[in-house]
Structure 1
C-alpha cells in the first residue's frame, strides 16, 4: 500500500503534497540534454511552475511549452503533467502550510544520522539517535514558546484578524516569518483582463 493511498484513507481532510524541489531536481537530472539544446526552456519551465496565478494559466502555458519544444513524447514531462495537482504551487494557492520546509528539515536530520550512526550499528543505536533528535527539537520548541509568551508584541502591524490569530498560535520566530509573508501579500492586487491570458496588476493598500 503506497503512502499516497494510506494518507487519503487515514487523513481524510489533509492536503498531501509532493516536494517541488525534488521533482524539479529530478527533472533536470533526467533531461540534461533536453534543457541544453532547448535555449530558454529552463526559464520558461521555472516561470510557468513558480509564477502562474491561476490554474488555467498554468495549464495553457505548460501545454504551449510542450508543443513549442516538441516534448510530447518526453516521459518525465508527461509524468509531471499527470501529477501536477500534487506539487505545482498554483493548485495550492488557497491552502496554508505553516512555513513547512520539508527539504531543510529532512536533510538536516539525514546529516545527523550519517554523522552518528554507522552501517554496522544496531537498530537500538538508531532509535537512541532518533530519540535524541526528537528531544532536541522539543527542547528548542519549548524554549521558543516560553520566550514568546513573555515577549508578546503589544501592537499589530496591520490589525487583521488573521494577524491576531497568528499571534496567539505562533512563537516569536514563526510570527516574524508570518509577518514577512503578510507584508508581501498585501502589496499587489490583480484583475484578469483576458480569460487565462492577460492580467492587470497594481499596488494596493493594506486595508482588506
Structure 2
C-alpha cells in the first residue's frame, strides 16, 4: 500500500510484477477533499453519496454503477478530478480489493500522521539532548492516548465496515483492536 506516487507505481510494477498494489484510501480521500472541497461543503447530499459509493459498495459492479449514477445525478460527468479518480479506481476503491487479504493494513496515514505530529515537537536545528527530551514527551503523550483508546475499546463496540452477518458476529468475539485488524 502506497500513496498515489507515479514513480512508486512504476517501480512496483517492474520490481514486484505479481504484487497487488493498493493506493491508500486515506490519501485518495484527502486529495478528493482538496480538489472537491467546495462541492463537498456546498452539497451535503453529494458528500454523503460520494463517501457512500466509496465505502459501502460491496462489489465492483455495484461500485461502478453507483459511481456513474452519482456523476449523472449531481451533474458532475465533466469534473476533472472525479474523472481522474474513475480512471484509477482499480488502484484505490475498496470494492476492487474485497477478495484480497491485507492483514493489519488499512492506511499509510498512521505513520505519516505520527511523523507530522513529531515534527511539531522537534526542529532540525534542535540539539540531540532536546531531541531526546521531546521524544520522551511525545512517547508519554502517545501512551496516554493508547490508554484512552484501550478504555474506549473496552467500553464501546467497534464500527462495522460491511453488512455481512459474520462481521456482526465477529465484533462480539474479538477485542476491539483485534476486530479492527480482522
Give 2:121's match in structure 1, choosing from 109, 115, 118. Answer: 115
Report which of the two has the higher share of strand: 1
SS in 2 for 1:31: helix
**SS state at 1:62 partner:** helix
Query: Are 1:38 and 1:69, in contact at CA under 8 Å, matched by a contact in 2?
Result: no
Give 3-state SS (helix, strand or coil) of 1:2's partner.
helix
TM superposition shift of 1:114: 4.9
The residue aligned with 1:27 is 32
Tell me the TM-score normalized by structure 1: 0.55
Tell me whether 1:103 sits opposite 2:104 in the alignment: no
How many angstroms apart in 2 are the aligned matches of 1:3 and 1:37?
35
Residue 15 of structure 1 aligns with which residue? 20
How far apart are the structure 2 equivalents of 1:46 and 1:179? 20
- Give structure 1 regions of 4+ aligned residues with deviation exceeding 4 angstroms: none
Q: Unpaired segments of 5 or more residues in structure 1?
A: 137-173, 182-208
Whole-Å Cα distance in 1 between the matches of residues 26 and 123 of structure 2? 27
2:97 corresponds to 1:92: yes
> C-alpha distance in 2, partners of 1:177/1:89?
20
Distance apart, 1:116 and its partner CA: 3.1
Where does residue 80 of structure 1 map in the other structure?
85
- For 2:38 and 2:178, the matched residues in 1 are separated by 39
1:4 aligns with 2:5: no
Q: CA deviation at 1:113?
A: 4.6
Relative to structure 1, is the Cα distance of residues 107 and 35 closer, same or farther in structure 2, using a 3 angstrom cutoff? closer
Alpha-carbon separation, structure 1, partners of 2:61 and 2:46: 20
Distance 1:116-1:31 versus aligned 2 partners, 3 A rule = same
What is the number of equivalent residue pairs in this alignment? 135
Q: Counterpart in 2 of 1:171?
A: none
Residue 71 of structure 2 is matched in structure 1 by: 66
Alpha-carbon distance in structure 2 between the residues aligned to 1:39 and 1:109: 32
From the CA coordinates, give the structure whose radius of gyration is larger.
Answer: 1
2:178 corresponds to: 177
1:30-63 CA-to-partner distances (Å, cap 9, x unmatched) read 2222224434111111111001111011000100
- Asked whether the equivalents of residues 30 and 76 of structure 1 are also in contact (C-alpha less than 8 Å), the reply is yes
Aligned partners of 2:20, 2:112: CA distance in 1, in Å? 19
Distance 1:47 1:29 in 2: 18
Structure 1 partner of 2:149: none
Rounded to whole Å, the distance in 1 between the matches of 2:180 and 2:42 is 42
SS in structure 1 opposite 2:121?
Answer: helix
Closer/same/farther in 2, CA of residues 28 and 12 from structure 1, 3 Å limit: same
